[in-house]
Structures are given as C-alpha cells and as structure tokens.
Structure 1
Amino acid sequence: MHKVYTENIFSHKSFIAGVFCLYIVSFLFITITIGYLLGISVSSLNLPLAVILSSVLIIKQSGLNIRNTCLVILESIAGITIIGFIMAFLPDFSSDGNYYHQESVILQVNGWNPVYSPTELDISIWIKHYAKALEVTSAGILALTHNLESSKVINWILYIASVLIPYNAIRNLGWSRRKSISVTILLSCNPVVIGQLFTFFNDFAIYCELVILVSVFALIVPSADKKNSLYLWGIAVAITILAINTKFTHFMFIGIAWIIFGIYLIITRYYDLLKPYLAFGVISVLLGAAVTGFHPYVTNILTERNIFYPLIGDKKVDIMSGNTPEIFKGKNRIETFVISLTSIKSTCDSESKISDDILSYISNYGYGTRVNGFSPLFILILALSIAYGLKYSCNRRAWILSGILLLTCIVFEQNWWARYFPWIWAIPAILILGSTETTTKSKLLNLIIALEILVATASVVRMAGGCVSRKLFYDRLYEQMQKTPLKIANRTAVVTYKLNHNNALYIDVPISQIDSLKAVSYYDYYSRHLDIIELPDSFYTEITRPILLNKCMMLNKRLSSGSTNERDSN
C-alpha cells in the first residue's frame, strides 16, 4: 500500500480504515464458516479473532509506521463500538428483519450448524437454503455482546468501508480533495442503503460491495507495483466472497461487475492484468461458493439438486406476486421502471396508506418502499446530474458506465423496487466525477449535493424515528409483561428469544382466544398472524391510547379479513 496511493495522508488513512472495516467483516465471516465446516459452532471468540487478524494484516500492509497505523485501528474500533451501542438501543421494526433474518442469527448462536444440518429444523425455507453472510457475521457479534440488535453494527461496518475506500480511489484518479469529498458524499447518501442500516435487511450490501469492488478495480489498473497490485486483488477477492454469500442475486451482480471489468481490460489493452484477473476471479468463485459458501450452494445441490433453490428451478417459490403493486401489473419493464421513478402512489396491501398525497408518502417511506424507493427527489437529482454532465463535458466512460447501470434495470424484472437495484443511485456521482469541472463552486453541483443530503437526512430521521417509537412500545410492553403474563398467539422463535431475554411473562393461547379489539402484533401490525399479543387496559395511557387504538383497529381489520400478507421478499 505504498506507491499506488496518493501522498495525501488523510486519504491514505481513510483507505486504511476502510480496508480494516472490510477485513473485520471478511475475517468474521471466514472464521465462522470455516468453523462450521470443522463442526465448530459460532462463539464469542470469533469477533475478537477477526479484529486481531484484521489488525495484524493492516499493520503489515498499511505503509505507515506502527504508531499511526495503530491509531487508525483504535479510532476505527472506537467508532464501531459507539455505533454498536447506539444500534443496541434501536430495535429493528422491519417485517422480514424480525422474521427469518433475526431467526437465522439466533439459531446459529444457539448452536445450529447450517453445513451439517441445513434442513433438519422446522424453520423458514429462506433460512434453510438461502445465502446468509450478514446473518453469519451478525451471529458472531451476538455471541459476544448478547444483544441481538447490536449485531446490526455489521451493516455499518460494511457501509463505512464503502465510503472510505471509494474516497481514496477518487483521490488517486487525480481529483481535488473537495471534489473527492463531494462525490463521496453523493455515493454515500443512498436512501435504500441508509434505511436498511437500521434493520436486518441485506439488500443494501450489494451497493456497498459494488462500490468497493469498482473502487479497487480503479486502483488496480494504474498500479505499477506488483506487490500493491497483489494486495488490491486480495481486497477484490474478499469483497467478492462476501457478495457471493450475501444473496443469490448478489452473486450474479458481482459476477457481472467482474465480467465488465474483464471486457474493459481487453478493450483498453491491459493484457498484463488479464492473468491475475482470471486467477483471482476463479479463486473468488471457488472460495465463495465451494468453501465459505458450502452452505447454501453445495448443501442445496446435495438436498435439492438445485444450487439456487428456492429462487429458481421447478420448485421455485414465488415471492413477487404478492409484493407487486397494482400500478405495475401488466406493464413492461421500461414502463414499470419509469413509473416507479415518477410516482408516489401504490395500491399494494403492504403500502396501502401511500397515496397521491406527498405527506402520506413521506410518512410511510422506509427500508423497502416499493414505489419510488429513492424518494420523489431522485428523478430531479438524475435530471440535474445529466444537465451537469452535458454542461461540463462528461467523458464517454462515465456515460457508458451510467448507461450500463440503467440497462441492468431494464433487462431484469422487479426494476421498480429500489432495494433490488440500489446502484442506480450512483449515476449522479459517476456523471459528476467524469466531468471536466475541477472545482466545487458550481451552483448546480451544490444543488445536487443539497438534494441528496436532504434525502439521506429524511431517511435517517424516518428510520431512527421508527426505531425509537418501537423501542418505547417494547419498553412499555416488557414493563407490563414482567408484572403480569399477557396472552400471546402463534409465538415465533424470534419473539420467544426477545421475551425471554427481557424476563417477560406470557401465556400461549390459540388466536381465537385473543380479543381482536385489543390485539397487536409484536413487531409489525400489518404482518402475518404471528406473535399476536392481547394488551390489557392498563397498558394504555393518554399518550399511547390514540396510536395503539389505531394499530389495534388495523390489525383487527386484517384478522377479520383473513389476509396474512406473507411478505417473504428476498
């Protein structure tokens, strides 16, 4: 990590911190999955071991003296720890997050080994057969902290890496510090990513993984030092292994990124890079799918004869019919993409409150918004960015890359759902980075930055507010249940874990014995018929009564209608 990087010490330290964060996630995942292959369950030792391995490797590779490198490491650990404490007090209020994502984490901490007993338990099909890199690493954190919500810090560690590494790459492309910071801000304000940082959702990860991988590729091309080039290829392998094991679709998209880079090397005649490109590409796939990804890729072949079960194949599970808003049904892919970017209306059951009213849209905007998930301002941001690129002669490579990103949304289905294609958010940053304007004094650029910061801030406020609201509800609920047992129907493993962890008393009853006028779902009052709790009159206060009565009314309507709204949305 010497000649390749800029002499600017701030940029260099940012890169070291970003790679350190990436190493923590990678080593945590690798040590746990290798342990599974050896028959060893996740334990409280995995996270400290990952931090130690990451520290040793960074000290060896940083190019700084030990004192400065250790300061970067300690500052990174301190920042991660602070975020972890904050996350511990902000409960995830997403449906899928509280359903199978958290259950997967809990099962692993309780001793489940997905390599040797992938299908023996009576659990969700998505836990048995789906990729789960973030759930595995979250289990490593939970095993040490004994606080389920604190394990969401793994999202932030990956996010921090995706902010710091690109900044260094942009600086090494020759841009000024101000412009590098401006473009980095644009990349980091993605509302899909920010919204999911507060949850156990994992869609955001592909954005972080792609941003890191492309940044590393950008550093590899001009590298004349074989030692540094080898180091960079190692980072590319690490982030690729994570992507392969985060979601099946991420395997495909990270593979497309590798293919595009290979084509670029051929077109630009970087033939000397083709040999390491092919070698490290093969290593990434083998380690990602056959070793660390033995579960689910190999176990799926052994149990279902289908490596990507249940996403494709004869026995694939349809997860989209019930998740598709009416305004997209019967439309082609171009129409759905355009409608999604220009509309705020949805008639999907799970977004039934979204209407033509912008205030209603904002109040319901969250981690998995189906219509215009990048916010109503994104179409304006995109238009302004195109205008900026035209005004300041954006280079051809930036236009081509932006076109490729747009093309992916037209080629693949479900392009209306922002959580599946979060990289579209990077287009404005790419066009601005590729322009000839070298300063940050442009009013147009400042307007774009201001709009993106506004979107990001709104996402933080919305999600943090939802977490705080849910925490207040839970605190009140636990206080009540520590004194008097409450009736609960269809109790799940996740809620059982949380109730027991908080010494809550409860009585299991059939759902027919729950007073629907006093019933709320533990984590999502629009959800399935699971974890339905009957609240006593003493639970209500002057402040909580209007809100809780509204929730009870909504759930009562759903229970009466028989709608379960199964929202498995991988």
Structure 2
Amino acid sequence: MSTMTKDATQRVNSTRKSMRMQAALERVNWTQLCDQILIFVFGSSLYAAILYNFDINSGVLAGIWAFAIVVAVVIYGYVSRFEWRTTIVTVLFIAVVLFAFGFLREFSFDGLNYHVATPLSIDHTLNGIADTDALGGSFWAEHYPKAFEYFAYTAKVLASRFNSGKSFTLLLSVPACVALMRVLQSAGISARASLIASACCVYNPVVLGQVTSFYVDAAHYFCWVIFSVHLLFALKRRPYSRVQLGIALVLLIGSKLTGPAFAAISIAVLFTAAFIGGEKRRFLTQNRGVIGELVIWSFVAVVVIGYSPYVENIVAGKHLFYPVLGSDKIDIIGGRVSADFLAMNPLQRIFLSYFSLPLDCRPCENAEPTFVPSYAHLRDAFIALHTAATRFGAFGPFFGVMFIACIASLFWRRRGGGEIAKIFLLATLASVLLHPQSWWARYVPMFYMVPFLVIAGFSSARKLFHVVVAVAIANSVLAAASVTGYLLLKETHYKNQVAAVRTMCGEEPILLASSEMNWEADLRDDRLVVVAAGRHPANSSCPVNFDEMMVMKK
C-alpha cells in the first residue's frame, strides 16, 4: 500500500472516530445531565442537613432518611422521563469523580479547619463520640452555611472516603459551563468558541486553585452562574430548567453568607431589565410562576439546608449574617493586607489587585500588590497560583491583558444584538462591584467572565474574542501547572509522614495532638485508626503531632 493511500486511510478513520464521538455526544441530553448532577448534589446535601439539624445519632433513622430521599429521586426521574443513556452517563461521571477524589488529600488551612469539621462532626455523632473535645474550626463550622459540607458527608458515606466529599466543585462545573455556553451562543458566538470560552471561565485560576480542596468559593460561583442564567432565560421566555434554577438558588444561599446577597442582586438586576424591555402592564402576571419558584426555593434554602446558621442565628437573637456583619462581626480581612490599600476606593483596589502579580504571602502582615517582574517575584507569583485563596492577582498574570482587550473592543467594530450577554454582564458587574471585598478574586470569581461577555455583547471582532480565549488558556495552563506541582510535592511528603506514623505506632490507635487542623479526615482515608482524646486510654494509644510532621522544609 502506498504512503498516500495509508495517509488517506488514516484520515478517513480519524474522521469516522470524530463522527462517532460527535454522534455519541449528541445522544446525551445535556439539560437532563445537568439536572441530574444538581439533583445528586442537592439530595446529598439534604440528607446530611437532616442528620445535622435533627442531631440524628441512630443508624436506623439515618438509613430511613437515605431510603426516602433515594425513592423520591427515582420517582422524580420516572415522572420526568429521564433518558436512560443520559442517566448512565451521569451515574458513571459522578462515580468516577467521587472515586478519583478519594485518593486526593486535603492540605488547605480552611479545608482542614472548618470545612471538614462538619462532615467529621456528623460522623462522630453517628458513631457516638460527639461528646469529645471540639473539632478545629468548630465556631466557623457552626456559624457558616454548610450545603457543600453536608454534601461532603454524604459523599463520604457513598465512597467511604472523606476526601471524596470535595468533588462538589468539579461536579457543578459541568452545568455551569453549559449555562455560560448558552449565554455566549445567544450572542452569535459559534458553539466551539463558546464551549472553549466557557471552559476558560469555569476553570479559571481561582477555580483551579480550589478544585482539589474543600474551599467552596468556586462552587458558590458556579451556583450563581447556573441560577442567574436560568433566571435570565426564564424572564426572556427562553427554554430553561426549573430544576437547575431552583437547586442552584438553594445551594447558592446555603453555601455562603454572601449567597442571599448575590441572589438578591441577580434577581433585582434581571427583573429590572426584563421589566424595562418587556410588557410592563402584565409583567407580574406573566412572571408569577417564576416568582413562585423563587419564593419556594428560597424558603427551602433558608429553613431546610440553611437552618444552621440562618434560623439558628435568628432564634439566638442574632441577625441573619452573623458573624461577618453587624456590630459584633469578626474581622477576617484586617491585618491580611495593608491598611493603606483597604483605605482606597473599590475601583482602585480592583485595578491594583487584578493588574498586579499573583501574591499570597500568608505570614506577611499588611501585604500590598506587587508589580515589579523580578525573578523572585515571578517565582512567588507562579507558586501563589496553586493556593485556594490568593490575595492579589489571583486571576493569573495575563488577566490584565484580557481586560484591556475587552475595553478596546468597545471602540472597535461595534455590533447590535447580544441582549442576553449584555444583561448577564450587568448582573455580573453589579455582583462584583457591590461586594465589599471585590479586590479579592476568591470572593468574586465571576469577574473573570467580564472580558468574554463584553466582547460577545458589544463587539463583532471575533478574532479579538479568540485572542482573549488564547490568553485565558495560558492563564489556566500556568495555574494548572502550579497546582499540579504543589500537589505532587505535598502528596509525596504526606505519604512519607503516613508511612512514618505506621512505623512509629504499628497497630496502636493514633491520638492526634490538639490542633486547628482536622487531620483525622485525611488519616482515616488512609485507613489509620484515629481516636479522640478521652475516648481511649492514653497508655494504649500512640500520640502523634501531625502538624509538626507536615511542615515541609525548603
């Protein structure tokens, strides 16, 4: 066979494989797949929320509640006529993600502190050891919304590993990506370009820094995107998912104290835009169904998933947003950055933060943005990209280029249309600018979407859109490389310390030293027996200070 014939045969085979893959993807109902992912996350959160709020310590009662929720989901799936191909894909995807995350370990401070404290607390209660010394981060675990921490416990039950519980960010990234893709397509962006751009927004450096941790900011951002997009489509009389609209609202409110504010801002902006651009006389009548959905799901968010802390705060005589607002608030920002920086107006802080080099110097007090690209600063910037809460420049070193490009697009080849993208951009900017800490990317990850939305909504310069996509890919590649390097180093060190503990303690149970870090979750995932102080005789357990062991020397 000649070389030309072989090349032609290879091209034909490649084309056939591509067509088969495309045909397989077309058989999947993506709206149903996203519905099913959100139903799984919501059902998991609901199960653990019931256990936590009712302080259930009986395995039988826990099993009854689990069975009831599973039956309800099956009945809903049958009534909704879920397609079997899509359902199989969803189940396989969830199973693979839960299984894979179980082999990761948690190393972030907030993750090991108050985020993992909730699933550990529920586990302790069901195992009859809830009367032990308080877990690390118990105050914040008690007073913060816990939707994703509830999910983490259920994931632990399903996959037998605590770290499977931090898979919520990756799971929710899929419906968020699909929702954002629909917004960009509505502005005339091609399907392929919309998919790539949406993936860049969804897997931006902030998200990549958190996707392997228990941090909830990225997942919170995804819920805001899903909720806002489907609410916008509902008000514009476009096809939307009631399931995604409602569940995303519940998870948005039930995962962070900023959730109610973000939801209220989106509702205000989107309803105002719909009122101005639509029929005013019958506006409330036409949208009474959507309003009813918002009321019902908000009730579920506050009273069921968010009972702790929202209802508990009110019953205790405090306000809804304790302890981050009000006269008795706890300052979590002061001392982390320079007082001079905080004294600037919000736009100055935003500009300086996002145009600076990435920086996350935790031991530093009064930190300030860095702009000098010296070797040391560039090295620190690359390292900072792996962290889940980088203070300055957290959108990567090239975000400034993306932002300048989107501003330039406003003066170059203007276009009409793109109404959906423009309204969604308005909701995004309102959510960012009204946040008091909008300079810190972990609190406003949606700001990363602005360059894409500006160009999609106001410019016909598609080449410029592709340039922004290319720059965003470079940002994400740098962040992914930083995260990968950190995980390899940290996981290797962790495994060495676990091996040292096995050698030191043998078959004896491990008694961890008092710490703000709940290493119990990681160690139990490695099938080590960890006992709580007061529950086991001191002379028959092996004391371990895992904080000291996990300190990595340069």
Please say whether Structure 1 and Structure 2 have the same fold, judged by a TM-score greater than 0.5: yes
Tell me, in whole angstroms, the C-alpha distance in 2 between the residues paired with 1:55 and 1:173: 37
Q: Bigger CA drift: 371-380 or 399-408?
A: 399-408
Query: Contact 2:429 / 2:447 at 8 angstroms: preserved in 1?
Result: yes
SS at match of 2:287: helix
Instruction: Give 1:246 deviation, angstroms.
Output: 0.3
Tell me, in whole angstroms, the C-alpha distance in 1 between the residues paired with 2:39 and 2:456: 27
**Equivalent position to 2:76, from 57, 64, 67:** 57
Query: Contact 1:55 / 1:73 at 8 angstroms: preserved in 2?
Result: no
Tell me, in whole angstroms, the C-alpha distance in 2 between the residues paired with 1:169 and 1:413: 27
Match of 2:537 in 1: none
Tell me, in whole angstroms, the C-alpha distance in 2 between the residues paired with 1:502 and 1:201: 21
RMSD of aligned Cα (Å):
3.7
Tell me, in whole angstroms, the C-alpha distance in 1 between the residues paired with 2:498 and 2:147: 31
1:102 and 2:111 aligned: no
1:323 and 2:336 aligned: yes
CA pair 156-55 structure 1, distance change in 2 beyond 3 A: farther
Q: Bigger CA drift: 89-98 or 459-468?
A: 459-468
Match of 1:180 in 2: 194
Match of 2:485 in 1: 465
Match of 2:538 in 1: none
Query: Contact 1:325 / 1:347 at 8 angstroms: preserved in 2?
Result: no
Match of 1:379 in 2: 400
Instruction: Give 1:81 deviation, angstroms.
Output: 2.1
SS at match of 1:375: coil
Tell me, in whole angstroms, the C-alpha distance in 1 between the residues paired with 2:349 and 2:181: 34
Instruction: Give 1:126 deviation, angstroms.
Output: 0.7
Instruction: Give 1:491 deviation, angstroms.
Output: 3.8
Q: Report 1:154-553 matches (<5 A).
A: 154-168=168-182, 170-171=184-185, 176-223=190-237, 232-270=241-279, 271=283, 272-325=285-338, 328-344=341-357, 349-350=362-363, 356=372, 357-365=377-385, 366-395=387-416, 397=419, 398=421, 401-402=424-425, 405-435=428-458, 437=460, 442-485=462-505, 489-491=513-515, 494-499=518-523, 502=526, 522=546, 531-533=547-549, 548-550=552-554
Query: Contact 2:155 / 2:164 at 8 angstroms: preserved in 1?
Result: yes
The amino acid that maps onto 2:553 is: L
Instruction: Give 1:123 deviation, angstroms.
Output: 5.5
Tell me, in whole angstroms, the C-alpha distance in 1 between the residues paired with 2:121 and 2:516: 12
Instruction: Give 1:297 deviation, angstroms.
Output: 0.9
Tell me, in whole angstroms, the C-alpha distance in 2 between the residues paired with 1:445 and 1:123: 44
Q: Bigger CA drift: 408-417 or 445-454?
A: 408-417
Match of 2:18 in 1: none
1:30 and 2:14 aligned: no
Tell me, in whole angstroms, the C-alpha distance in 2 between the residues paired with 1:432 and 1:136: 39
The amino acid that maps onto 1:247 is: K
Instruction: Give 1:262 deviation, angstroms.
Output: 1.6
Query: Contact 1:344 / 1:361 at 8 angstroms: preserved in 2?
Result: yes
Instruction: Give 1:347 deviation, angstroms.
Output: 8.5
Instruction: Give 1:317 deviation, angstroms.
Output: 0.9
SS at match of 1:111: helix
Query: Contact 1:104 / 1:127 at 8 angstroms: preserved in 2?
Result: yes
Match of 2:143 in 1: 129
The amino acid that maps onto 1:453 is: I
SS at match of 1:412: coil
Query: Contact 1:131 / 1:296 at 8 angstroms: preserved in 2?
Result: yes
Q: Bigger CA drift: 469-478 or 389-398?
A: 389-398
Query: Contact 2:452 / 2:468 at 8 angstroms: preserved in 1?
Result: no
Unaligned runs of at least 5 residues, structure 2: 1-23, 534-543
SS at match of 1:192: helix
Query: Contact 1:104 / 1:135 at 8 angstroms: preserved in 2?
Result: yes
Match of 1:86 in 2: 100
Instruction: Give 1:25 deviation, angstroms.
Output: 0.9
CA pair 499-214 structure 1, distance change in 2 beyond 3 A: closer
SS at match of 2:125: coil
**Equivalent position to 1:14, from 30, 35, 50:** 30
Deviations 1:508-567 (A, max 9, x none): 99xxxxxxxxxx984xxxxxxxx33499xxxxxxxxxxxx432xxxxxxxxxxxxxxxxx
Match of 1:564 in 2: none
SS at match of 2:116: helix
Tell me, in whole angstroms, the C-alpha distance in 1 between the residues paired with 2:290 and 2:530: 57
Query: Contact 1:337 / 1:410 at 8 angstroms: preserved in 2?
Result: no
Question: Paired residues, what number?
Answer: 497
Tell me, in whole angstroms, the C-alpha distance in 1 between the residues paired with 2:442 and 2:66: 29
CA pair 184-267 structure 1, distance change in 2 beyond 3 A: same
CA pair 312-465 structure 1, distance change in 2 beyond 3 A: same
Deviations 1:233-262 (A, max 9, x none): 443222111111101112211121112122
Deviations 1:429-474 (A, max 9, x none): 2123324649xxx432222111111212222222233223222111
The amino acid that maps onto 1:490 is: S
CA pair 25-282 structure 1, distance change in 2 beyond 3 A: same
TM-score (normalizing by structure 1)? 0.77
Tell me, in whole angstroms, the C-alpha distance in 2 between the residues paired with 1:317 and 1:193: 26
Query: Contact 1:265 / 1:274 at 8 angstroms: preserved in 2?
Result: no
Match of 1:145 in 2: 159
Instruction: Give 1:332 deviation, angstroms.
Output: 2.5
Query: Contact 2:355 / 2:400 at 8 angstroms: preserved in 1?
Result: yes
**Equivalent position to 2:125, from 87, 106, 111:** 111
CA pair 495-185 structure 1, distance change in 2 beyond 3 A: closer
Deviations 1:35-76 (A, max 9, x none): 5555546957877876765565355436xxx6xx21112112
Instruction: Give 1:400 deviation, angstroms.
Output: 6.1
Instruction: Give 1:132 deviation, angstroms.
Output: 0.8
Tell me, in whole angstroms, the C-alpha distance in 1 between the residues paired with 2:191 and 2:359: 42
Query: Contact 1:193 / 1:207 at 8 angstroms: preserved in 2?
Result: no
Instruction: Give 1:488 deviation, angstroms.
Output: 6.7
Match of 2:4 in 1: none
The amino acid that maps onto 2:548 is: I
Tell me, in whole angstroms, the C-alpha distance in 1 between the residues paired with 2:454 and 2:78: 36
Instruction: Give 1:216 deviation, angstroms.
Output: 0.9
SS at match of 1:369: coil
Tell me, in whole angstroms, the C-alpha distance in 1 between the residues paired with 2:318 and 2:499: 49
Tell me, in whole angstroms, the C-alpha distance in 1 between the residues paired with 2:400 and 2:320: 38
Instruction: Give 1:198 deviation, angstroms.
Output: 0.9
Query: Contact 2:359 / 2:393 at 8 angstroms: preserved in 1?
Result: no
Query: Contact 1:44 / 1:141 at 8 angstroms: preserved in 2?
Result: no
Tell me, in whole angstroms, the C-alpha distance in 1 between the residues paired with 2:249 and 2:265: 11
Tell me, in whole angstroms, the C-alpha distance in 1 between the residues paired with 2:69 and 2:178: 20
Tell me, in whole angstroms, the C-alpha distance in 2 between the residues paired with 1:507 and 1:291: 32
Query: Contact 1:44 / 1:144 at 8 angstroms: preserved in 2?
Result: no
Query: Contact 1:482 / 1:503 at 8 angstroms: preserved in 2?
Result: no
